[in-house]
Amino acid sequence: MIELKNVTKKYGDFTAINDISFTVENGEVCVLIGPSGCGKSTTIKLINRMLEPTKGEILVDGREVRGERPDVLRRKIGYVIQNIGLFPHMTVAENIAVVPKLLGWERAKIGERTNVLLDLIGLDPQLYASKYPRELSGGEAQRIGVARALAADPPLLLMDEPFGAVDPLNRQVLQAEFLKIQRKLHKTVIFVTHDLDEAIRLADQIVLLDKGRVLQDDSPENLLSRPATKFVRNFVGTDRALKRLSRFSVGDHVRPPVSISLESDDFKRHLDALKTEGARFAWVTANDGTLSGWIDLHDLGGDEDPNSVITEIDPADTAIKTSFSMKEALSRMLGQGIKAAPVVDGANRLIGEISLSDIERLTEE
Amino acid sequence: MANRKNRKLLWSWIATAAAAVLFGALAADMGIWDTVLRFLFPNTDQVVYPRASLTTLLGEHLGLVIVSSLIAITIGVPLGTAVTRPWGRAFLDVVDDLTSLGQTIPPVAVLALAVPLLGFGFEPTVVALFLYSILPIVRNTISGLDGVSRDLVEAARGMGMTATQCLFKVEFPLAIRVIMAGIRISVVINVGTATAGAVIGAGGLGAPIIAGLVRQNPSFVLEGAIAGGLLAIIADQILARTEASLTVGMDSQQSAR
């Protein structure tokens, strides 16, 4: 648990942090957000003593951070900065090994840990361990920045706009990966960003700062549905309902699909069953379950060849994945002009569907 | 990749060593010098400097350069490092000005001024060469260390490196090329400047040059100048190889594992 108690940081006459207090529970992701200059980066630098507070207490698991030498303290706290800061003269493996080496781990243990971490972030150790940072893409470098911060398995992770310099597309991928890793590792994370969508997507707790003060310290849902002040209301914007959708994942709301396989032997029986259920549309799959199109059951009255009435679709354009947020699902549906979207797995096999009314129901909750 | 790099480096070391040995052999064989210089200056009685052999002169010259450069490196690199530390920043301008001043005073003037204090010969020459050669070393140490991205230093400190660990594991390795470039420039200039030592009796390759000028014997001048030029080239190459070895050693740590 991390507790900040009445922390103030002054630079001469300028007060960067003004008497802030908040608590982060173990295993939770706390996002610090606010306009630039609000003191969010300053706050996390106070926690690992890159900066010292003018007043107040900072406790990690009940112990004042100033009770320990800064370098000893920092080896127990993972740190990821915006510009990644991978050391260009060291290989990927050496970069990841920095903190374990500082802690005096044995070489075999370091090597093993490096492989585990590269696997965790989805990069092949064989391929990446001996690469230099200049040989990496931005997204890869950022992943390795995270792996390096996790190297000595610190319980606490400080991330200062870690995905700030990555393009929007890659940023979403990194966010999804971060969530996946976080669900596995349950670190206590303090994450700084100025991107509200990112905050809403990742946070268990959002601390909104402005001019060095805490304006609201709340769950993302509450921040969106019950903004404390006019400033917060303006900050979260008028599209709050839409933003809330990004809190929900497709995986949690996917329904079993209405589908039919054309190549199946008992196609006719299936078709009749669907019709008695009162279904009008069905997804069409190949025998191996991969999505190929959809069909209007009304078009299949007589004996015509079913293949002639299929509307073929390209899963890459239309289908969504369980890792998508409901907001992404909605935008996919609006973009394609469809009322329901098929949900597929990595191999384009149909696993379910999400309809527009599902999304409507979520926004009403 | 590192392997091919290492092999290439090994070959360039062999080539450099061969050039150095060849140069040594050339310096030792006064017959060749006599033949060549006599061909160039057929009307001169004495074409080779008679008071000391070229190997002796070369030895004296190397002594001056090596001693003064080593002092300049052992003082210049720590000095440049100190003024880039947070606690030494305040002295950055002073050190910068003082080292620049050292280079603005002509070495010959330093020699003249040092003689009353240190007498003639080796010591005052080393002092003059030291003052003259410390500037590029300090300057490049400063700009090399300052050139290391603040983000990298922040990352290193934020991960729990002490200031010293950060300096040796991150800042020096990244600044080494620039620092070595400063040392190279300094040493090569030093090889040329050291000829001035002959004026106050420090010997070296300046001796035949000064004698040639006084006695209007261009052959002596050429003898000293050619030997000095070749020495500068070889010194530069040796330092270039050293620089490459330092950076490759750093690169290949991982792949060797």
Q: Which residues of chain A have a CB within 8 Å of the CB of B160?
A: 71-76, 99, 102
DSSP A146-182: HHHHHTT--SEEEEESTTTTS-HHHHHHHHHHHHHHH
CA distance A289 to B161: 53
B158: contact with A, CB 8 A cutoff: yes
Do B254 and A71 count as a contact with CB atoms less than 8 A apart? no
Nearest-CA neighbor of A85 among B171, B160, B147, B152?
B152
pLDDT for residue B68 is more than 90? yes
pLDDT for residue B121 is more than 70? yes
Q: Which residues of chain B have a CB within 8 Å of the CB of A88?
A: 152, 174
Residue holding tokens 């939770």? A28
Find the CB nearest A89 among B155, B161, B174: B174
**Residues recorded for chain A:** 365
* Mutation for testing the A interface, residue in B159, B168, B171, B253 having most A CBs under 10 Å: B159
Contacts of A122 (CB under 8 A, 6+ apart): A143, A177
Our CA-based measurement puts residue A221 at a distance from the nearest CA of chain B, in whole angstroms, of 32
Q: Which helix (H) or strand (E) holds B233?
A: helix B218-252
> What was the pLDDT predicted at B256?
29
C-beta neighbour count of B211 within 10 angstroms: 18
C-beta neighbour count of A252 within 10 angstroms: 8
B254: contact with A, CB 8 A cutoff: yes
Do B158 and A88 count as a contact with CB atoms less than 8 A apart? no
Do B170 and A87 count as a contact with CB atoms less than 8 A apart? yes
Higher pLDDT, residue B116 or A159: A159
Q: Is the dihedral of CA A272, A276, A279, A285 positive or negative?
A: negative
CA A5 to chain centre: 29
* Mutation for testing the A interface, residue in B172, B254, B255, B257 having most A CBs under 10 Å: B254
Answer left, alpha or beta for residue B153, where phi above 0 means left and psi between -120 and 50 means alpha.
Answer: alpha
When mean pLDDT is compared across A56-70, A140-154, A276-290, the lowest value belongs to A276-290
- pLDDT tens figures, B149-158: 999 999 999 9
CA distance A176 to A165: 16
Both tokens of B1, joined, read 């990749």
B174: contact with A, CB 8 A cutoff: yes
Q: What is the mean pLDDT of chain A?
A: 88
Can you list the pairs that A70-73 forms with residues at least 24 positions away whose Cβ atoms lie under 8 Å?
A71/A102, A71/B157, A71/B160, A71/B161, A71/B162, A71/B165, A72/B160, A73/A48, A73/A49, A73/B160
Which residues are A260's β-sheet partners?
Answer: A284
Asked whether this complex has an ipTM greater than 0.90, the answer is no
Q: Kindly report the pTM of this predicted structure.
A: 0.76
- pLDDT tens figures, A285-342: 887 888 888 888 777 766 666 677 788 888 888 888 888 888 888 888 888 888 888 9
CA distance A149 to A53: 24
Q: Which helix (H) or strand (E) holds A56?
A: strand A55-60
> What was the pLDDT predicted at A85?
86
CA distance A258 to A353: 8
Residue holding tokens 């003060």? A213
